[in-house]
Amino acid sequence: MKVFLTVLLFVFSLNLNAKALFSNDTQAEASKYMSALKNLIVSSQRTRGAVSSFLNGNAMAIDLVYAHQSDMKKAIGEMESLPFAQNPVINSRATSVTRTLISLNNNALDMSADEAFKKYTDAISQALMLAQTVSKQFKDLNEFGYKAVDLMLNVILPLSEEMGQLRALGAGATARKSLNARQSAQIKAKLRNIRKLASTLRATALSLYSEYPKVYGSDFKFRLDQAMSSINSLTKLTEQEILSKKDITYNSSRYFSNATNAVDDVVILFDKNSQAVLKDSDGWL
């Protein structure tokens, strides 16, 4: 009996430090669905940026528009194939989001640049709200799980969206070769929000990594440093080549590519946390 109690207490102590005692199927399914939803959000953000570049005069962006719209369709199919899609509340809200995005893809190229930007941004905002709804299905998370999900939803996804909006605004400005006062103010606001969220991301991620290094793996710190460097490079590029120039000469496709690489470096941190939460759902028993 003493041996059994000793083993049980040891396992319980492991639970307090990293993962749950028993497996959590609901948590695992929610984690998979949220990753699929993240793919939809990311591909929608890319589509918005490519559409903005094209509608502002960069004809070369049309191939990117169709490629990213195709990625959106794949992400929708992935979401709909998962068991979690059968949840009535999730299904209803997800259907509304995907129908809006599909309609946008069919009509965006006939809109003005400002209208397309606003409509994609509104639809992505609804997708981010859907992510919050999904997060409520993460049951019985331990301290690590709650912190990781909070970082994913309230820091990483909002940061990716601020960067995605900057990508669209910057790609539009570089395609037009000009920037008016309203557009300049929009970009400056995005830069402030990005820097604030990036600071929160760095501090929170370092704290979690320090407390749970084995959960994240050996390359997490490298990925975090890489994301911070990419964010810094993008913000400096935007200030030097867009905000500081009366006549913008920077190539729109190149700006879009640089911004996309920076967003991808941030999204990798979402994936790292998602993998950790999914692993956590296995439990010790």
Where in the chain are the domains? 24-280
The answer to whether 35 and 149 have CB atoms below 8 angstroms apart is no
**Number of CB atoms found within 10 A of residue 83's CB:** 10
Query: How far apart (Å, rounded) are the C-alpha atoms in residues 127 and 181?
Result: 30
Whether 278 and 144 have beta carbons less than 8 Å apart is answered as no
Q: Is the distance from CB of 231 to CB of 262 less than 8 angstroms?
A: yes
pLDDT at 15: 44
State how far the Cα of 263 lies from the Cα of 79, in Å rounded to an integer: 22
Beta-carbon contacts of residue 123 (< 8 Å; ≥ 6 apart): 44, 97, 100, 101, 104
The answer, as to whether pTM is greater than 0.85, is yes
Q: Would you write out the chain's pLDDT as a tens digit for each of its 285 residues? A: 444 334 334 444 444 444 544 355 777 788 889 999 999 999 999 999 999 999 999 999 999 999 999 999 999 999 999 998 999 999 999 999 999 999 999 999 999 999 999 999 999 999 999 999 988 887 777 788 889 999 999 999 999 999 999 999 999 999 999 999 999 999 999 999 999 999 999 999 999 999 988 888 889 999 999 999 999 999 999 999 999 998 999 999 999 999 999 999 999 999 999 888 877 665 533
Phi and psi torsions of 180, nearest 5°: -90, 180
**pLDDT of the residue at 139:** 74
Q: Tell me the two tokens of residue 34.
A: 């949220």
Please classify residue 85 by burial: count the beta carbons closer than 10 Å to its beta carbon, then call 0-12 exposed, 13-18 middle and 19+ buried: middle
Give the C-alpha separation, 46 to 179, whole Å. 21
Quote the CA–CA distance of 267 and 142 in Å, as a whole number: 23
